[in-house]
Amino acid sequence: MQKHLEQPFAAYDPAHDPVRDSGPGTNRNYAPTYWIGTAGTTPDDDGPISADIDCDVVIVGSGYTGLSTAIHLARDHGLSSVVLEANRVAWGCSTRNGGQAQISSGRLKRSQWIERWGLDVARRLHAEVAEGFDLFRNLVREIDCDPQDGGHLYIAHKPSVMPVLEAESRLLNNSFGYRSRIVSRAEVQADFVNDAEAAGAMYEPDGMGIHAAKLAFGYQTLARRLGARVHPGSPVIGWESSGNVHRLRTPGGTVRARTVALATAGYTPPGLNILTRHRLMPVLSNSIVTRPLNAAEIEACGLKARFPLTDTRTLRHYYRFLPDGRLQIGSRSAITGRDASNPVHLERLIAGMTRKFPVLDGITLDYSWWGWVDVSHDMMPRIAQPDPAQPIFYAMGYGGNGVMYSAQAGRRMAQMIAGKGAGLDLPIFTSPLPHHGLLTPFRRIGQRVMYRWYQHKDERP
């Protein structure tokens, strides 16, 4: 296999917007994230496509989902694949997230699953997500990605939210047999984190922090070891299908394949394929990482928990104490790519951090970045073959909960590609991503209004 060759990269584009832009560019450099800054040397890849090639399965997107699909095609089904990436490997969501794995997928709670599909389906969906967490844990054991296992704390940011958490915890215990528990304000601040806002919390036994880029690069190394070819700098700039062959054109050559798997998530170009057009509403999330905290700051912040923490705001904050002594925190950001670098969004996130940890007011930030989250129109992911007549599959729409479930989603998509998906009968497997037609770009007007309402609702008593 071809070794990775150093080459000049196009500049990172901080204003990239998947709703407005025709594509993510070609061979662009990474966003300046903490993960990229501390991951070390990137592993070997197979270089950009440089000639026409044939393969059985072509995977578009080299993030967690695409690489997991390649791993499971080879490991479970003996199938090789070619992975195409427009820019650098894992350039999108997989190196811009918060590195937090929770026992969830999509944006809906278990109570909302029951409202939508009934208790039986909700229980089977819970079992699917739990199986996904087990798979994720097993993959992490193969990869040096600084895991911080131990659970997840869902922190009430004001007292009025506690009854909602208490009801959800009872539901998890009584209807799903999942041992969550309610934690008092005093216990949160004494045993987990001295979050000044915390009114209490719900503890879930499953949750893990990981180093986002080290995980992605570990997947890349494993996929290539199993026979997959990973080609960065190879955006799909044309797609033609005839008979049983798909021809995906890249700047360096055409890839001909019988099956196509799409794993482009929040960076899906609007013109990639009619089956993905207007199927997602990408939203921006900001993240910051402080300088290493000193002993007095760590004690004042009460940073005893070494696993993911999330608050109950609609525009939630997700945060954790990193293995090297820094604090990472993220939340929602701008509406458009053009506005992403507006300092007001960074200022709001810093204000959120200092509300929780007043001692950190004025602390130096070592990293600040943003990235697009793949939110589906009904807040749930899909791993599906949207048109049974075409051998095209996709897995996306995690709504910010893809760090963990993307591993299982890739496994499920590989299973479908191998013709062994007949038993996958949950709604996330049997229906396509909902379509909002030409309204998708215009939904940003409503998004702007709703963000203001969410901020008002989140901060009132």
pTM, whole model, 2 decimals? Answer: 0.97
Tokens at residue 179, please?
A: 């041992």
Tell me the three state secondary structure of residue 324: coil
Hey, what long-range contacts does 299-304 have (CB within 8 A, 24 or more apart)? 300/194, 300/357, 300/359, 301/193, 301/194, 301/327, 301/357, 301/359, 301/360, 302/189, 302/190, 302/192, 302/193, 302/194, 302/195, 303/193, 303/194, 303/327, 304/191, 304/192, 304/193
What's the pLDDT score for residue 455?
A: 86
Tell me what pLDDT residue 1 has: 40
From CA 265, how far away is CA 67, in angstroms rounded? 13
State the Cα–Cα distance between residues 41 and 185, nearest whole angstrom.
43
The answer to whether the beta carbons of residues 19 and 270 sit under 8 Å apart is: yes
Give the whole-angstrom CA distance, residue 410 versus residue 88.
Answer: 20
How buried is residue 438: exposed, middle or buried, by Cβ count under 10 Å (0-12/13-18/19+)? exposed
First-to-last C-alpha distance (Å) of the chain:
60
Tokens read off for 6:
């150093």
Closest CA to 403 of 434, 371, 363, 440: 371
Mention every residue, 6+ apart, whose C-beta is less than 8 A from residue 6: none
Q: Provide the phi-psi class of 43: left if phi over 0, else alpha when psi is between -120 and 50, else beta.
A: beta
Give me the amino acid identity at 53: I
Taking the C-alpha atoms of residue 39 and residue 236, their distance in angstroms, rounded to an integer, is 27
Q: What is the DSSP string of 90-156?
A: T-SGGGTS--EEES--SS--HHHHHHHH-HHHHHHHHHHHHHHHHHHHHHHTTS-S--EES-EEEE-
What pLDDT does 346 receive? 97
Do 27 and 10 meet the contact criterion of CB atoms below 8 Å apart?
Answer: yes
Residue 402: which of 31, 64, 96, 134 has the closest Cα?
Answer: 64
Distance CA 151, CA 135 (A): 16
10-residue mean pLDDT series, the chain (461 residues): 62 95 96 98 97 98 98 98 98 98 95 98 98 98 97 98 98 98 98 98 98 98 98 98 94 98 96 94 96 98 97 96 98 95 97 98 98 95 97 97 98 98 97 79 82 87 85
DSSP string, 396-445: E--TT-HHHHHHHHHHHHHHHHTT--TT--SHHHHSPPP--GGGTTTHHH
The answer to whether 172 touches 124, Cβ cutoff 8 Å, is no
Coil, helix or strand at residue 89:
coil
Two tokens at 318? Answer: 């997700």
Crossing angle of helices 119-140/402-417, nearest 10°?
100
How many CB atoms neighbour CB 428 within 10 A?
Answer: 24
What pLDDT does 446 receive? Answer: 86
Q: Tell me if 327 sits within 8 A of 293, measured CB to CB.
A: yes
* CA nearest neighbour of 403 among 382, 425, 374, 429: 374
Q: CA-CA distance, 436 to 56, in Å (whole number)?
A: 32
- E strands, 216-360, are 229-231, 238-242, 245-250, 253-262, 283-290, 309-311, 318-321, 327-332
The pLDDT, as a whole number, for residue 364 is 98
**Cβ-contact 47, 40 below 8 angstroms:** no
